[in-house]
Amino acid sequence: MKKRRSKKERQALLQQTIETNPFITDEELAEQFQVSIQTVRLDRMELSIPELRERIKYVATRQHEEDVKSLPLEEVVGEIIDIELDRHAISIFEVKMEHVFKRNQIARGHHLFAQANSLAVAVIDEELALTAKSTIRYIRPVKLGERVVAKARVEDVENDKGRTVVKVRSFVGEELVITGTFEMYRSSNYSEEGNNL
């Protein structure tokens, strides 16, 4: 039989876990530490650790306000938590009641597309970036209450068509739920080529 940790040990490990992964949910912490969600919440309160939503907002606004050039941060669907222009970006999208079909609680596809597409736009290091072409594959339905983590990676900055190719993969936990390839039109191409997309 496994020995139960003391409250002090548990709280120290909980704090360390949240510092390592600030995007872990109370439910995941409860499962990991084999305690109730209420115990996790009480531990967080005693340690003055904010809830997940506040941790996400803090990380997103602190780091990325100045980084994104191609659109205002409030136009990005989801919260950007990591970005390096023309290389990679990560965003988190919480599926709420207004994002799902009422009869089955499954997220509407256009919200998931919007998260992936706006991340593909945001990762471009230009004042103007437009989606010229996209290919999306939905792998499994996303449900109410799930948290979608989209990861964008710039594969080719200037392909043979003068476009930037961005691959986006979206996950719920460890499970891949969407893949997408976006061909992005850049403002530097606009000035060189006229207005042909």
Residue 149: give its domain's CATH number: 3.10.129.10
pLDDT of residue 183: 94
Which residue type, as a one-letter code, is found at position 5?
Answer: R
Going from the C-alpha of 97 to that of each of 59, 143, 145, the distances in angstroms are 25, 10, 8
Strands 164-172 and 79-84, sheet pairing? unpaired
Asked if residue 69 and residue 16 are part of one domain, the reply reads: no
Asked if residue 37 and residue 94 are part of one domain, the reply reads: no
pLDDT of residue 141: 97
In a domain, 2, yes or no: no
Asked if residue 89 and residue 31 are part of one domain, the reply reads: no
Residue 34: give its domain's CATH number: 1.10.10.10
Tell me the whole-structure pTM to 2 decimals. 0.66
In a domain, 1, yes or no: no
Asked if residue 172 and residue 79 are part of one domain, the reply reads: yes
In a domain, 58, yes or no: no
pLDDT of residue 69: 63
Q: How many residues would you count in the chain?
A: 197
In a domain, 20, yes or no: yes
Tally of domains within the chain: 2
Nearest to 60 by CA among 70, 73, 45: 73
pLDDT of residue 25: 86
Asked if residue 164 and residue 140 are part of one domain, the reply reads: yes
Asked if residue 79 and residue 16 are part of one domain, the reply reads: no
Q: Is the dihedral of CA 169, 172, 173, 176 positive or negative?
A: negative
In a domain, 54, yes or no: no
Please enumerate in sequence order all residues whose Cβ is within 8 A of that of 134, keeping only pairs 6 or more positions apart, or say none.
Answer: 113, 117, 120, 180, 181, 182, 183
Does residue 86 come out as left (phi exceeding 0), alpha (psi in the -120 to 50 range) or beta?
left
pLDDT of residue 91: 92
Q: Do the beta carbons of residue 186 and residue 155 sit within 8 Å?
A: no
Q: Do the beta carbons of residue 152 and residue 134 sit within 8 Å?
A: no
Asked if residue 146 and residue 90 are part of one domain, the reply reads: yes
Q: Which residues of the chain have pLDDT under 50?
A: none
Asked if residue 105 and residue 19 are part of one domain, the reply reads: no
**Containing structural domain, residue 122:** 63-193
Asked if residue 171 and residue 83 are part of one domain, the reply reads: yes
Residue appearing with tokens 């360390």: 16
In a domain, 102, yes or no: yes
